Amino acid sequence: MSIDVSLADDADEWNELVDRSQQRTPFHRFEALDIFTDYSNTTLYPFVGYKGQEAVGLFPVFSLSRGPIQAAFSPPPDLKISYLGPTLLNQGKAKQRKAEKRHRRFNEAVYEEIEHEINPQYVHVRTGTEYTDPRPFIWSGFDITPRYTYEIDISRSPDELFMTFSSDVRRNVRRTNEDSYELLEGRADDIEEIITNVQDRHAEQGITYDVPPSFASDLYRKLPEGTVRGYVCRSDGVFVGGLITLEDDETIYRWQSVNDRDHDVPATDILDWHVIQDARNRGIERYDLVGANNRRICKYKSKFNPDVRSYFSLERSSKTTNVLKSLYDRFR
């Protein structure tokens, strides 16, 4: 039986399917997709694949036009969205041959719809870490680039986990007087303050950072309560660090962070340890540090003794636009 693809028109039904997928992320929720659409000036195509009456996969795609170029993205560019791409359903009990056939046909059917609905000259997809088999994209002519992130198993006892960290993290947490700082889980205004500080840090380094503070606070307001959290560290009332996370039932994602490097309080170490303990107390098992591709940033994140996880960046250009292989960077 072939795979039929349609566009979802009910947010609740979409989210119910997201919740059933083992490859889901908070970025796949319909509320998040809606916000991505608003801030990226794109058109959303929330594709759902069915085998008969059974849903077999979801694939949110965003179309974007720049001059003569029509492009399709998942996720859309420029908003620091960590993961998106396809997420499969009802794969667990299927034998390998059947699962692979269903997966391949789902991807082919969605790509046919992308061609029909968008007709892009360029396609870029970035998957989540639980999407481990990108071969259907390769078979459809995509170029694949492995990407990497760090993940910490936080289900262990706090003492055991803490002792796996580097000595300087342990020292910073233990020796910093708790009276010298205040930690709080903030609200929308605090989340915007964190993003504003991230913008300032990037500006100091001459690096473009186009995430608006309101984008982060809209995610906080519109996603289910507790999905987005903003943790702030202050000293004598002054902002010295902040960290924004997204989470589902199993994983918390370290989305955006910043600290005042000139202050004596080691805010980043303190915030990360606080977030880990807080998430563990809610029954979350994994802390995704979101990104292990930059050598300088890896130097910090590796101090938490994480495991390396892979995800995939996938690109396809039409024959007439192969000269635009750098298009994604230009869109960003």
Residue 274's domain is classified under what CATH number? 3.40.630.30
For residue 1, pLDDT beyond 90: no
Whether residue 261 is found in the same domain as residue 318? no
**Mean local confidence (pLDDT), 25-29:** 98
Lowest model confidence (mean pLDDT) among 61-70, 143-152, 160-169: 61-70
pLDDT of residue 275: 98
Same domain, 203 and 275: yes
Higher per-residue pLDDT: 328 or 199 = 199
The rounded percent of the chain whose pLDDT value lies above 70 is 95
Whether residue 165 is contained in a domain is answered as: yes
Separation between Cα atoms, residue 183 and residue 214, nearest integer Å: 22
Weakest-pLDDT range from 16-20, 85-89, 115-119, 325-329? 325-329
For residue 328, what pLDDT band results from cuts at 50, 70 and 90? low
Is 12 within a domain? yes
Percentage above 90 pLDDT, the chain: 89
Domain total for the chain?
A: 2
With respect to residue 232, please indicate whether it lies within any of the assigned structural domains: yes
Are residues 133 and 111 located together in one domain of the fold?
A: yes
pLDDT(296) > 70: yes
| 47 lies in the same domain as 96 | yes
Residues 182 and 279 in one domain: yes
- Nearest Cα residue to 225 out of 192, 185, 183: 185
User: In the predicted model, what is the mean pLDDT of the chain?
Assistant: 93
Residue 279 lies in a domain: yes
Average confidence (pLDDT) over 226-254: 97
Q: What is the pTM of this model?
A: 0.94
pLDDT of 272 above 80: yes
Residues 20 and 143 in one domain: yes
Q: State whether 125 and 20 are in the same domain.
A: yes
Give the pLDDT mean for 135-154: 97
Residues 144, 161 within the same domain? no
Residue type, 88: L
Q: Are residues 120 and 181 in the same domain?
A: no
> Residue range 190-206: average pLDDT?
96
52 part of a folded domain: yes
**Residue 322 reports pLDDT greater than 70:** no
Say if residue 221's pLDDT is above 70.
yes
pLDDT tens digits, 4-26: 999 999 999 999 999 999 999 99
> Which residues lie across from 205 on neighbouring strands?
none
Name which of 66-70, 133-137, 184-188, 193-197 the model is least confident about.
66-70
Is 160 a member of any domain? yes
Same domain, yes or no, for 11 and 86?
yes
Domain that includes residue 201, residue range: 155-284
- 95 with 206, same domain: the answer is no
Residues 6+ apart with CB under 8 A from 90: 20, 54, 55, 56
Q: For 52-72, what is the mean pLDDT?
A: 93
Report yes or no: 113 and 297 within 8 Å, Cβ to Cβ: no
Looking at the fold, whether 9 and 111 belong to one and the same domain comes out as yes
Q: Per-residue confidence at 323, pLDDT binned at 50, 70, 90?
A: very low
Quick one: pLDDT at residue 327? 53
Asked if the structure places residue 82 within a domain, the reply is: yes
Residue 301 within any structural domain of the chain: no
- End-to-end CA separation in angstroms for the chain: 40
Residues 6 or more apart whose CB falls under 8 angstroms from that of 136 comprise 103, 104, 106, 107, 108
Q: Is the dihedral of CA 297, 200, 124, 37 positive or negative?
A: positive
Residues 6+ apart with CB under 8 A from 119: 70
